[in-house]
Amino acid sequence: MEDGLLLVVSGPSGAGKSTVCAQLRTEMPELGLSVSVTTRSPRAGEEEGINYFFRTAEQFAQMQANDEFLESAHVYGNSYGTPKQYVFDQIAQGKDILLEIEMQGALQVKRRFDRGVFIFVVPPTLSDLKHRILKRGSETPESLMRRFSSAYNELSYLDEYHYLVVNDSVDLAVERIRSIIVAEKCRMDRNARLRRRLLDEGADNGV
């Protein structure tokens, strides 16, 4: 059994990456989802190890000190992190894992695990991105400009990703990511065991 893939999906706010990832998991239920560690309290219906791994601030700080995270961040008074060992164990079992994360976190992951597959989801145009954000109806002119500026700044990091997926249609974007998964699984360097077995079989048969 070859190792699974770690799919890291990012994109600016309004690009629709969450919708694309949700549809991708609907079509590929075997695709696992990375479970994060958080210091916030569980909400109604949330379960340990299913929605999050719930830890105290002290436990989280100790995990950081022990270098147990692929990435971590502090958001709105709480800390969040992607547990390295959990992800590596799933991959070692041949499971593909999806990690939907913002760009700063993705760059942290890349520094610690360069065999990940890094995908950046974008709208067809920046004008389309602005229109999508406006449709939410929850933005002031100032917050709209901040989001738009942030999205534009993120584009300067595109070279850190392996694939660029245009979300002009959720179905098409999902199909593109599924094609990426198929292509990655066919890469020569991801099939070392199969290559070795075929060569050994040839040697055993006197080839």
Q: Which domain holds residue 77?
A: 35-95
CATH number, residue 62: 3.30.63.10
Q: Are residues 126 and 82 in the same domain?
A: no
Domain membership of residue 207 (yes or no) is no
Q: Are residues 142 and 187 in the same domain?
A: yes
How far is residue 182's CA from residue 82's CA, in Å, rounded to a whole number?
25
pLDDT over threshold 60, residue 1: no
- The candidate with the shortest Cα–Cα distance to 88, out of 80, 79, 97, is 97
Domain boundary at 56, 72, 95, which? 95
- Please give the model's pTM, rounded to 2 decimal places: 0.85
Q: Which residue has the higher pLDDT, 18 or 205?
A: 18
Domain boundary at 80, 95, 110, which? 95
User: What are 117-128's pLDDT values in tens digits?
Assistant: 999 999 988 888
Q: Which residue has the higher pLDDT, 7 or 145?
A: 7
Q: Are residues 162 and 106 in the same domain?
A: yes
Total of domains in the chain:
2
How far is residue 182's CA from residue 134's CA, in Å, rounded to a whole number?
35
